[in-house]
Structure formats: structure tokens, C-alpha cells
Amino acid sequence: MFKLCLIILCVFSLSSCFEKQDKLDLMYADKSNALEKSRDDIAYLEFLYKQQRSANISAQGRVIKSLPTQLIPYKAQMFLVRLTSGQKLIIKHNIDTGQALPDLKEGALLTFKGLYKWNRRGGMIIFTSHKNKKNKLSGWLKYNDIIYQ
């Protein structure tokens, strides 16, 4: 009887270990999926650049430099971003319809969603704010864990 109780106790102890391992596997799987998605987005941007195409995209990169604010035809905050692939993009964020990013620092990580427009210098991301009535595109910028539209 003692041996049976000991075996049952061991089985329950081991089953709880496997349950924790399953949770850990799920936790790490989510992080690796996010990393794979980020790599896929960067690869897709490279493909679009090489094919001279435009498309809706989301990705992330590091801010290299803030550029002067555009005033015509609409007010836009502009900055240069480098992707992990080395490709550089200009992000043009409409601040007539969306919020400006405060205190944008060089080297900061920036996640974005918008329309990639090809140009020979690397490309540009536009429509990073609320829906545009004309073409119904919308996107966002994520900086310091805050989403700006």
C-alpha cells in the first residue's frame, strides 16, 4: 500500500512538471513566432524594393534621423529608419490627422504599419495614421510601447 501511494505521488509530481514545461514551450513559441514574423516582414520589404512595388506592410526598425517637418500639402512628421537588413526607409506620418511622436530619439526602436511606396533610395512608408477618406488606408506607429495614429 505504501508503494502504491508513493507511485501515485510521483506520477502527480511528474505531471505537474510537464504542465509547467508546456506553458514554457508556449511562452517561448510566441516569442519565436514574433521574431519569425519580423524577419518575414523585413524580407517582404526587400522583395518589394527589388521588384519596385508598393504594398501594405508592418515591420520595425531603428530611427536614424529626424527629418524636417513637411508642411505642404499636409503637415507630416518625417524620419529615416534603418531595418535589420540595412535597408533605409523614410516614414512620413501625417500629423494633421494623427498624433505626432514626442521626443523621437535616434536609435529608438519603431514598429510601424502603413503603405510602402517604392523609390530608388529604399522606399517610403505613408498612411501611418487613421483612415484616409480617399483611399481607406490606415496604419500606425508604435514608439515606447505607445501606438500613434
Quote the CA–CA distance of 15 and 122 in Å, as a whole number: 53
Helix (H, G, I), strand (E, B), or coil: what is residue 7?
helix
Could you tell me if 75 and 96 are in contact, meaning their C-beta atoms sit under 8 angstroms apart?
yes
Enumerate domains of the chain plus CATH numbers.
Answer: 36-148 (2.40.50.140)
> Which tens digits make up the pLDDT trace of 3-61?
665 566 555 554 544 444 444 444 444 444 555 666 788 888 888 888 999 999 999 99
DSSP 66: E
Flag whether pLDDT at 134 surpasses 90. no
Can you tell me whether residue 72 is helix, strand or coil?
A: coil
Give me the chain's average pLDDT, please.
Answer: 79
Q: What percent of the chain has pLDDT over 90?
A: 38
Q: Which of 94, 90, 88, 97 is nearest to 70 (CA)?
A: 94
pLDDT at 13: 55
